[in-house]
Amino acid sequence: MKFDLFDLVDVSFDPPEHRAKKVSEAIERADRELCGALGSEAMDTKRNEINAKLQFLQFICTEIFESNGTKLTQKFKELAKVRTDVEVETLNRAIATEKQAGETAITIGRIRRMMKPFGIKLASSTIEKTYTEAGFTIRKTQRPTPAFPRYAEHIPDALAKVRNFADHHKFYPSPRFYPKQLGSTQDLDVPTQIARTVAEVFSGKVDESQSLDSKQELDNTLVTDLYAFIAYLEGEPENAALYRNMCTDELANILDRHAIALAKRAQTYRDPLGQVLENVVTLAKFHVFDSDLNRIKYDKHLLFKSETISELVKNLQAAKKVGLHLDDPKYAEPAIRQIVDVFGNRAGAVAMYIYITGIDEYELDTSDMEEFT
């Protein structure tokens, strides 16, 4: 019987493994597995085959190791070269079939998939060289990146701080009570200064002795996106839909107005809630409502953070963690259809699926990239 060392032992032949210890350990592991199989095998033909493999491994060790066993001989490199040539020949036969079908290019992503377990055991450089010599173009896989606004991922966390600010209305006036002019706070504690300023601004409407708890309070739990946040600043968080229909310039002007008051409030009062609000205003003013294009990008980000897509992302991440091949259409297509239901565009949905799953490619071309970005 004739055997190939690299069929029995899990070591690299392209490029050839250069560490004698690793090759020795792999042979010992293969020897143990064969001995275990021999002990449980009853058929004589199978037992004879296993014994022949054990004898082959014993013999090959005298060929590929120097006498002290610390170095590999030239024989190992020769065996590796023979096996590499066999694999390249097999690949060339497959390439010939592709050429007959009119294929002229291959992506780096597909080459990576070819190298997965139980695939081609050649190095990626050898595969690329073989395809190039056959006249193929090697295309680099462009991983799509969604065109969300800069710092878009920080916005939900910043808004959460507004929503979760514990009992903020018991200690700080609502945004509608921002003072137009701030006096000195050197001799006054913060709650007293707030009450006095509010009384001055709303003279005749608000009694200075009136408890802040009894004033009209705003529901900060409604601040789920920047439109609701602007509505909150304007004193009507329940009317977020009104602000979604405003033009970008109008929203920017509102933010400008509140930015000044918030900056003064945060600095003068040493007010933690004011600082939280100021941070959100800064994100909204400079990265979302500074242009119509960035606003469109933010609206896409809101869709991406919708409950449907968020749940899908969690499911896909879990599937990837347990080893499912998410480039398989049986997994990809149902997910892509879900994304299409939200975004309404298959090309963009395919690109987003690749972005979420981290796979190398899936029916993606340049036009898909443009739709996504």
**What are the residue ranges spanned by the domains of the chain?**
5-99, 154-293, 306-372
Distances in whole angstroms, Cα of residue 276 to Cα of each of 20, 168, 305: 61, 11, 21
Amino acid 28: pLDDT: 94
Please state which of the ranges 99-103, 122-126, 162-166, 231-235 shows the lowest mean pLDDT. Answer: 162-166
Please state which of the ranges 57-71, 94-108, 308-322, 351-365 shows the lowest mean pLDDT. Answer: 351-365
Q: Which residue has better confidence, 149 or 85?
A: 85
Cβ atoms 362, 353 nearer than 8 A = yes
Q: How many residues does the chain have?
A: 373
**SS3 of 13, please?**
strand
Per-residue pLDDT of 52-73, as tens digits, reads: 999 999 999 999 998 777 899 9
Write b or e for each residue in 28-44: b if 16 or more Cβ atoms lie within 10 A of its Cβ, otherwise e: eebbeebeeeeeeeeee
Cβ atoms 371, 350 nearer than 8 A = no
Per-residue pLDDT of 307-340, as tens digits, reads: 999 999 999 999 989 988 888 888 999 999 999 9
| CB hemisphere CA count around 270 (13 angstroms) | 7
**SS3 of 271, please?**
coil
DSSP 17: P
DSSP 138: E
pLDDT confidence tier of residue 363, bands split at 50, 70 and 90: low
Cβ atoms 114, 120 nearer than 8 A = yes
> What's the mean pLDDT in 209-226?
62
Amino acid 146: pLDDT: 77
Q: What is the pTM of this model?
A: 0.55
